[in-house]
Every structure is written in structure tokens, then in C-alpha cells.
Amino acid sequence: MPTRRSVVIGVDSSTQSTKAVAVDADTGELLAVGRAPHTVTGSAGARESDPEEWWSALVTAVRAAVRDAGVPAGAVTGIAVAGQQHGLVTLGADRRPLRPALLWNDTRSAPQAAALAARLGGPAAWLERTGSVPVASMTAAKWQWLREHEPRRAEAVAGVRLPHDHLTERLTGIAVTDPGDASGTCWYGRGARGGEGAAGTEGLRDSTGGLDGKESAGAYDPEILDLVGLDPALLPAVAPGGATRVGTLTPAAAEALGLPRTVVVAAGTGDNMAAAVGLGLGGAGLLDHPVVSLGTSGTVFAATRARPADPGLAGFAATDGTHLPLGCTLNCTLAVDRFATLLGLDREDASPGGGDGGGVVVLPYLDGERTPDLPHAAGLVTGLRHGTDPRSVLGAAYEGAAFTVLRALDHLLAACGLDPAAPDVRDRPLRLIGGGALGRTWTETVRRLSGRPLVVPAAEELVALGAAALAAGAVTGADPVALTTAWGTGTGEILPAVGRDEETWNRIAGVLSAATPALLSTTVEEVGQGGRGEADVVEVDAASLADG
């Protein structure tokens, strides 16, 4: 008599949508994917979403995945959520959101981030204590913004959560996070033992079946919490890892999802940490292998045992106890698609920005920028001539976005303790993931500007697959990175290296250097008084920039 299939659900709650995958826990076979959209609102730097919509989308996506997988609800044994990082969810006494969540790409908190970075001993002290220097995306800066702009609402807060924390709490009724997502708050101190971060973990089980005296890889930093006026009692407990078994579904969650109450819920993690798991990156898999992710944001990251300390990188924790240094840009696929729309072109209609001899450069910083830290920057187009082909402008938008992501790559490799110029490091392939990895122009642009071989994994839902592996780890006790390695979710087509396009690289670098700070550092006051807004495109002549 055949053994009943064990199915786990991995949820990717991203900026724009929720995706849920149903996966065979033994083989890693992707059985079905359910999807539901989110709404993002805001202008002039604001980016917000209603967390209740995330929950509704999760329910819709999970139900669709189970239905389309053609398996009985009783076959589902575990679930885990991976969520967009940094978002600030504030809960009232009823554990429901008091206001829309402030999202990672909300840049209104840039002044608060700058003020925080100057305190506590300055950027070097922040790097030592948290691995990251506060920028507008970090949760601590958003909490400060809320305290200053909505003080009555801040005083009424009974719980502070990250997006994935909130959804896990809706599933289980338990307030818990993991080291990976917590490391993106700037109030989680790395490397410490015990302290506030270990509080409240009694009864939680990690992927080996029990805590057995283990604590999380870090803890909430009491001095930073005091600095931002945040009571640690408002925060979730920090589980040892993303595959920690938190509990099972509440009756309400089980009814909403149409699943048994016995379904095990893992602690889950942030989306970048889950993508690393999906790729087989971590202590039980690949270390020091860089990844480029092309989505709403562009990111470059790697799992490493080195402890990173670079102000241009976020010194995140991975969800399995290793480190996950990461460089993140705000403007990637959506920004380039916006240029395609403005030009009346399909996104694949691009040609290289210098292809017609015009030397067009586009810095597509339509939402400000995080890396480099230019939160109030606007988009910039330079080098236009009468004969410029619109396809070259679109190609330059691709190049500008890819350049901005790849610019962080050498910093990332150095943070891993590697020499970026060493032949064995230079020839190490980039793993290219995210929605952009499905596009021919994105792939070829990254290949040409990096000069490195690429691996394009066949699996498309790596964040959700990584979350599914966390769920399977919570159910079985297996290491989730070892599981995805066995599942083969990180394998795919290998594209050999081509010669790096140094001319284009240097042209973009020169424009960025000349335009900063004069054209790319618009202040908050200038924006508020009708100066260059967050979505304006500035057109200037390249020669005038070069002359200063």
C-alpha cells in the first residue's frame, strides 16, 4: 500500500503579491503555485500596504495551491512564511494593525535614519553591534518616523512586528521571529548570547526537535531599544532559526485555510534569507557563492561564515546561523519597466545605451536609492542626442539598474573575506534569480557588465521553495539547506562568461560620480517645496557633468 504523500506549504509574501507553493516534502517536487496580489499605496516617498490584505492574499494563495496540487488537505503537514523585510507592522491591543504597514521602500524615514546613524558612537559602532548602519529602509528608522509624526498612534502600539512575523502570528497566535529577519531591524544585536532575544522562546522547538539549551544567534540590543524608545515587551521572541517549530494552526487559521489544525508552523524568515535556503546556500550547502536577485529591488548576497562589517552592505544573519551580507538597491525591474512605458516600448526592445554612439546613461533612481545611499534622488538621463534611438535609452536604463546592483558585488566578496580579483573568485558564477532572471535583456546585461559566468536556476519560486524547506525542517527535523540541496532547487542553466564591458561600466561610474551630490541628493525640504520629486527624470548634458 503506497505511503501517503507529505506536502509542505511555502509562502512568499512579497511587496506586490503573495505566492504559495505546495511541495512534496520528500522529493522537493513543486506540485502547484497559488497567487494573490497586494496593493501598495503612497507618493512622495511613502510606500504602505494593509497587513490585512496580506492575510487575505495568503489565504487565497494557500487554498489555490492545495486545490491545484490535487492533494487532500490532510496531506499538508507544515507551513512557513517568508516575507518582505524591514516593514513596520504596528498592532493594537486586539493584535490587529493600527495603521497600514510602512514598507521597506518607504523613504520618508531618511532623516530619522541619518540621525540614528550619528548616534550610539556613529556608523562604526552600528556595524559592530548590528552589522548594519541605519538607512531609510531599516525598521528602526521607520519606528522613529512613526514616533515623531504619529506620536499618539505610537503610544497606542501593543506589538511591533515585521511582515512575516505578523503572518506567522496570524497562523499560530504566537509572536515569534527568526534571526534572519530580525537582523534587518537595526535593533537586533549580532553575536550576543542570551538577553532579550532569547526571552519567550520556551516551548519552541528547533529543527532538531528541541531547544536543548540553544539560543538565537543574537539578541535585541537593550541600548538601541532605549535609544528608539521601544519597550522590548512589544517585540516577538527570537527563535533559534527559521525552521524552528513554533506550534500548529489556530482553529481560526485552520478554518480560513481549509487545513487541519495539526499542520506544523515554522518560524519562517525574511525573503532574502528564504531565497538563500532555496538556492542551497548556508552551513550545510554553498558558502561564499554570490547571488544577484532582480526584482522590485535588486540585491546581491552570499551566505558566509565571515562576520561582515561594510557600511555599504546590510550585515544580515542567515536563518541557519551563518551570515548573509547583502547589498540592496531600490530601483530594479519596476524602474526599468517604467522607462519602457514612458518610451512606448516593450521591455525586451532595448539595445545597449552606447550602441548608437550616443553614450546614453540612465540612473533610474525613481524611488530614491538605498545603495548608494541617496534616499531623495530622482532619475537621471544624460547623453541624449537628436539621433538617439529610444531603444538605447531603455538599454541604458537596464545598464544603470544592473550597474547599481553589481557595484556592490566587490564589497560583498570582500565582506566574505575574498579577493574579488583572484581568478578563482572572479570565475565563481553568479546565481541570477528573481523576475528579471527570466528576461533575456536582464540576463545579457548582467552577464556583459559583470564579466562573470551565470547560473540561472530552473526553479522560479525560490523564496517560496526556501520557505517550504523551512516548513519541512520543522516537521522532520532535517536541515532546510540540506533539503534544498537534495531537492536540486538551486540548479539550472550555466551561461559562460563574456568579456566585461569596461567602457559602459566606466561611463556609468563617471556620471554617478559627477552627479553626486549636485543632482542626486535632493533634500527633503526641496522635495516638499516643489523641487525634484521622487519620480522626476532629470535630463542634462554629459559634457557639463564631466566639467563639474
The DSSP 8-state label assigned to residue 3 in this structure reads: P
117-148: buried (b, 16+ CB within 10 Å) or exposed (e) per residue?
beebeeeeebbebbbbbbbbbbbbbbbbbbbe
| Cis? peptide before 364, omega within 30° of 0 | no
Cβ contact 521:374 at 8 Å:
yes
Question: Residue 271 catalytic?
Answer: yes
Report how far residue 13's alpha carbon sits from residue 158's, in angstroms, rounded to the nearest whole number. Answer: 23
**Distance between CA 365 and CA 374 in Å, rounded?**
9
Q: How far apart are CA 386 and CA 382, in angstroms?
A: 13
> Count of H helices and E strands in the chain?
20, 25
- Beta-carbon contacts of residue 61 (< 8 Å; ≥ 6 apart): 11, 18, 19, 20, 34, 35, 36
Interhelix angle 390-406/333-343, rounded to 10 degrees, is 170
Instruction: Compute the distance between CA of residue 106 and CA of residue 124 in angstroms, rounded to an integer.
Output: 25
Catalytic residue among 206, 221, 271, 367: 271
DSSP 198: G
Element (DSSP H or E) covering residue 120? none
Residues 139, 161: Cα–Cα separation, whole Å? 10
Residues 429-449 as b or e (16 or more Cβ within 10 Å = b): bbbbbbbbbebebbbbbbbbb
Under a CB-based contact definition with an 8 Å cutoff, are residues 344 and 392 in contact? no
The answer to whether 116 and 141 are in contact (CB under 8 A) is yes
Cell of 467: 520557505
50 vs 39: CA distance, rounded Å: 8
Angle made by CA atoms 424, 426, 431, in degrees to the nearest 5: 105
Alpha-carbon span 470 to 380, nearest angstrom = 42
Residue 313 CA to residue 309 CA, distance in Å, equals: 8
Q: Classify the C-alpha dihedral 381-382-384-390 as positive or negative.
A: negative
Mention every residue, 6+ apart, whose C-beta is less than 8 A from residue 215: 193, 194, 197, 198, 201, 240
Which positions are catalytic?
271
